[in-house]
Amino acid sequence: MLYIPIILGTARRGRQSEKAAKYMLEKVKKAKIKTGFLDVRDYRIRATDNTQKIPKAQKLGPKIKRADGVIIVSPEYNHGYPGELKMMMDMLYKQFHNKPVGICGVSAGGLGGARMVQMLRQVCIAFHMVPINSAVYFSNIQDLFDSKGNIKDKTYHERAEGFLDELVMYAKKLR
Ligand SMILES: Cc1cc2nc3c(=O)[nH]c(=O)nc-3n(C[C@H](O)[C@H](O)[C@H](O)COP(=O)(O)O)c2cc1C
């Protein structure tokens, strides 16, 4: 069974991107793939020196190493990725090598975090990861889900499923 965890890219209180992350989590579960959240809230650190040795890195390391691929769901902050996401990733290095990664952008506006996705792909290459071409852009996030967490715009289903198909294809090939 494949294992594809979902990294939640922001710890912000009241974060809207959690709704998109939950939506993706259900899609991955439905595809009979083992998954779960790796939440930046659980891996926040204050400095990036000697991080491989700290307990949080030692807790995260085996989870990334075991993964067949990774999904990152992150908001766009000032046209980039949240600093705490980068610090979380910087705790590790080799554990990320050769993993396919799919990125889902989230924003309150219409672009769905597209600028963040482009930037984060470059960072992922530095980790020797394989960023996939597909992305899911969750725009107008504050209005995208109903109070039960159901997505209102049903066109997202096809996009999310196509994204996952591409990620799984790479995960199987790179395994
Ligand atoms: C510090 C900060 C910077 C932001 N910068 C952007 C931005 O560059 N582009 C954008 O579309 N939305 C931006 N937003 C708004 C987010 O799109 C909005 O908060 C959305 O709900 C997703 O982020 P969240 O998961 O933190 O809620 C910013 C929000 C914060 C808190």
Residue nearest to atom 12 of ligand 1 (CA): 107
Which residues in the chain come in under a pLDDT of 50?
Answer: none
What is the reported pLDDT for 51? Answer: 87
Q: Write down the CATH number for the domain with range 6-174.
A: 3.40.50.360
What is the reported pLDDT for 49? Answer: 83
pLDDT averaged over every residue in the chain = 97
CA 18 to ligand 1 center in whole angstroms: 13
CA 153 to ligand 1 center in whole angstroms: 20
What is the reported pLDDT for 48? Answer: 87
Report the alpha-carbon distance of residue 30 to residue 33 in Å, rounded. Answer: 7
Q: Which atom of ligand 1 is nearest to the CA of 108?
A: 17
Q: Could you give phi then psi for residue 136, rounded to 5 degrees?
A: -115, 125
pTM over 0.85: yes
Q: From residue 103, give the alpha-carbon distance in Å to each of 133, 146, 147, 167.
A: 9, 23, 25, 10
What is the reported pLDDT for 21? Answer: 98
Where in the chain are the domains? 6-174
pLDDT tens digits along 35-71: 999 999 999 999 988 888 999 999 999 999 999 999 9
